[in-house]
Structure 1
Amino acid sequence: MSVRGSAPAALISAPGSGQGKSMITAGLARLHRNAGRRVRVFKFGPDYLDPMVLEQASGAPVYQLHPWMTGEAECRWRLAEAAAEADLVLVEGAMGLFDGDPATAELAAMTDLPAVPVIDASGMAQTFGALALGMDRYRGDVRLSGVIANRTGSPGHGRMLAASLPEGMPLIGAVPRHEALSIPDRHLGLVQAGEIVDLDERLDTIAGVLGEAGLDTLPATVTLEGERPAPPPQRLEGVRIALARDDAFAFVYRANLELLAAMGAEVREFSPLTDTTLPECDALWLPGGYPELHAARLAANTAMREAVQAHHAAGRPILAECGGLMYCAEQLVDADGKAHEMCALVPGTAAMAGRLKGLGVQALDLPGGELRGHTFHHSALDTPLEPATHTRRRGGSPAEAVYRSRGLTASYFHAYFPTAPQAVADLFRGNGD
């Protein structure tokens, strides 16, 4: 079924990471939401953390868009559906506009979304215009509709930046330095939205700063079209899936949950940090997150670890992704070098490495289809267990190890379920070999 919608829309990007585009996007969403507009925001790429903040800012669901991981058809459909119902559609890019394969620019080119770079102007004058000009001319199929200057020093600084821009390219706003625009981060990105106790107040403050900087004007209207996908087969009818979800395990794609529900599964959430038993379930899903930050509490909850061990001993399906894999190891060594007992479903030790150990989009070939996703971790697993298979990078080379034991499938790989519904159904039914 075709979907078509028209709405003011913009893709908020940057010349590189660290320019401040995440909080500018969140602030824009809150600014227009506070003005009574229906705002929909998307995040380019596989990131889990920015969408948590963007959801709180906009008050609406946030989905990931990536031409390879989620697929071009899904990108077009989700954007068109949002444009049909919203007063404003925003997409936050990843890294720099032209960085990556595919880059954020690919989404702009395939949807005709106008790109709006956020450029950190601190310590910069006329070079600001040269940078904007270069970004505007780098690709003929990507258009810039204006530029946002971030971290400006004074109104005079903003006027100087505006004067440096090429003819026909407006300075949409000059955002001054402000402490509210600095959100804490850690090794995997921003801290989780739920950990920032004053996030709503911060977002309202940022919205006020952006409004005063002239960013309250809606961007140009864009018409977006796509095809709504067919409903997935009911391959998980009656299957009860226990999902670990708390401060230690929070990396869950909204689209994954929606697919499981559409296939007939019943997802029951629990907390490995505070609960002592699993909910009644046929399968267990241990997603990624920050178990290394909560390792002592996870280790101390022996009743939960024993419940997970009993589920595994019974041969019932378990899907463990990244942080979930770490929880399944015998031990987890945190960033301070302290070892903590985990569930011991996989022999060996998961240890924080102090540096990035895996990054990038990947695919896992299964009998039920090609399951796409990504990896991003700062720990390594030392295990005598031989991998059953490996994920592969886009170029075809092997990547993350995938371990199998009884009904367990464990890897540093984070899967995007809608890319292979049958494979997902097989994993949660225990026949994913």
Structure 2
Amino acid sequence: MSNPLVATVPAALISAPGSGQGKSLVTAALARLHRNAGRRVRVFKFGPDYLDPMVLEVASGAPVYQLQPWMTGEQECRWRLAEAAQEADLILVEGAMGLFDGTPSSADLAVLAGIPAIPVIDAWGMAQTFGAVALGLASYRDDLRVSEVIANQVASERHGALLKEGLPDSLSLFGCLPRDEALNLPERHLGLVQAGELDDLDARLDQAANMLLEAGLDRLPAAVTFRAEAPEPPPALLRGHRIGVARDAAFAFLYPANLDLLQAMGAELAFFSPLRDSTLPEVDALWLPGGYPELHGATLAGNAPMRDAVQAHHQAGKPILAECGGLMSCLTSLVDGDGVAHAGLALLPGTATLTKKLQGLGMQAWSWQGHTLRGHTFHHAAVETPLAATWQSQKQTGTGGEAIYRSGNLVASFFHGYFPSAPEMVAHIFTGTLTE
């Protein structure tokens, strides 16, 4: 281990009593507000999420990494925060779901890192009861610091005054946000619409930041001292390997930490678009990550040259990792939300069908020969295939998991892996040496 990284910087976990309270947009607006003020802002997202970080990255102007003590490991959580603190003027962490939801929860991360939590509470339809909700969040755990709250969906100055009056002396209002469409972003079945699909996202973020500024939410949170050891570099098991990574509106669910790890192990990354490109780059392996192939079924099906190139790659025995949307695109056909079937890459027999009901959600792990790749699953799709699963992931809690299929050197599953949790196993996937 090297000398520890130590730095002190204002920091806060932006959380809520539950989903739908407005914490995502508040976090993004706070990041943009302070960035517009000339501060260097680093934002992190608690838990597995691809969509919120896209917006947070645009808001802050810096990459957004995941922090989740079970998936990424406690030491990595401490290190990423301490590393960011070396250069940042402000660190924000967006929580997931409610403050105490999940194992571990957003609160667990806040305690681990010593960060105060600032809950965003939807005050619609509440007056003094707002204080009871805030007090409950603040007093539920003795080891968690909660001294300020943000009121969202506030109807008027009088409404805000009632909310403030209802707070106990131990709590104060960080600020009140009005009911305004500027504090909302469009959503679809997996969450927020991808940042790259919103042409006016910068304008929306600036407008939201100005609203926060007018509401007096431009104060910096309390300073936190971060301390951590830098991790040992991973083994250079991918030196000399060139990996093609699909990245466009259909395939965009990529953790920055996963890309960083591949490069740290010596891989060269070549990005390409299955939607727009007609040929593959010269690569040794392919990665088809998750995304929204079901929204682009006709375009993908109509790109015959790309389909031929991917099939030739597969037939040559070269490795492919296909995650979630990648799995869906690898089947013979893909049925979209309107019930329309589109031709897939036909690397695996069967059909992927978009469903209205959630089919998989939660933290999972895939164990192989002493290695454990941790990650998650989240999908509104079902697969029908005559193939038997070669492996199966396991839920963090409970039984069952996702089927992991293998055909030649293609590995495909709804399971999304967090690569730094098992570097050697990831190297075996991309070098085609993963034995059954």
Question: Shared fold by TM > 0.5?
Answer: yes
Q: Secondary structure at the match of 1:165?
A: coil
State how far apart, in whole Å, the 2-side matches of 1:403 and 1:220 are: 48
Does structure 1 residue 287 correspond to structure 2 residue 264? no
Does structure 1 residue 225 correspond to structure 2 residue 231? no
- Which digits, 9 at most, give the CA deviation of each residue in 1:241-278, with x for residues without a partner? 01111000000000011111111101101111111111
Root-mean-square deviation (CA), in Å? 0.9
Q: Secondary structure at the match of 1:151?
A: strand
Pick from 133, 136, 144 the counterpart of residue 134 of structure 1: 136
Q: Residue 235 of structure 1 aligns with which residue?
A: 237
Q: Residue 394 of structure 2 aligns with which residue?
A: 392
**Is the 8 Å Cα contact of residues 368 and 420 (structure 1) preserved in structure 2?**
no
**Is the 8 Å Cα contact of residues 51 and 62 (structure 1) preserved in structure 2?**
yes
**Is the 8 Å Cα contact of residues 322 and 412 (structure 1) preserved in structure 2?**
yes
| Paired residues for 1:31-430 under 5 Å | 31-367=33-369, 369-395=371-397, 397-430=399-432
State how far apart, in whole Å, the 1-side matches of 2:285 and 2:398 are: 31
- Which digits, 9 at most, give the CA deviation of each residue in 1:356-404, with x for residues without a partner? 0000111111236111111000001000000001001123633000000
**Is the 8 Å Cα contact of residues 368 and 422 (structure 1) preserved in structure 2?**
no
State how far apart, in whole Å, the 2-side matches of 1:141 and 1:380 are: 42
**Is the 8 Å Cα contact of residues 328 and 343 (structure 1) preserved in structure 2?**
yes
Residue 402 of structure 1 aligns with an amino acid whose one-letter code is: I
- Which digits, 9 at most, give the CA deviation of each residue in 1:306-359, with x for residues without a partner? 111111111110000000000100000000001001011111100011110000
Residue 299 of structure 1 aligns with an amino acid whose one-letter code is: A
Residue 90 of structure 2 aligns with an amino acid whose one-letter code is: L
State how far apart, in whole Å, the 1-side matches of 2:123 and 2:170 are: 20
TM-score between the two structures when normalised by the length of structure 2 = 0.98
Q: Residue 25 of structure 1 aligns with which residue?
A: 27
Q: Secondary structure at the match of 1:200?
A: helix
State how far apart, in whole Å, the 2-side matches of 1:161 and 1:248 are: 44
- Where in structure 1 do 4 or more consecutive aligned residues deviate above 3 Å? none
Residue 217 of structure 1 aligns with an amino acid whose one-letter code is: R
Note the C-alpha offset of 1:129: 0.3
Q: Secondary structure at the match of 2:115?
A: coil
Stretches of structure 1 that go unaligned for 5 or more consecutive residues are none
**Is the 8 Å Cα contact of residues 368 and 423 (structure 1) preserved in structure 2?**
no
- Which digits, 9 at most, give the CA deviation of each residue in 1:134-191, with x for residues without a partner? 1111111112020000010011111110111111211010011121111000011000
Stretches of structure 2 that go unaligned for 5 or more consecutive residues are none
- Which digits, 9 at most, give the CA deviation of each residue in 1:31-81, with x for residues without a partner? 011111111100000000000000110111110000000111100001111
TM-score between the two structures when normalised by the length of structure 1 = 0.99
Q: Residue 11 of structure 1 aligns with which residue?
A: 13
State how far apart, in whole Å, the 1-side matches of 2:412 and 2:377 are: 13
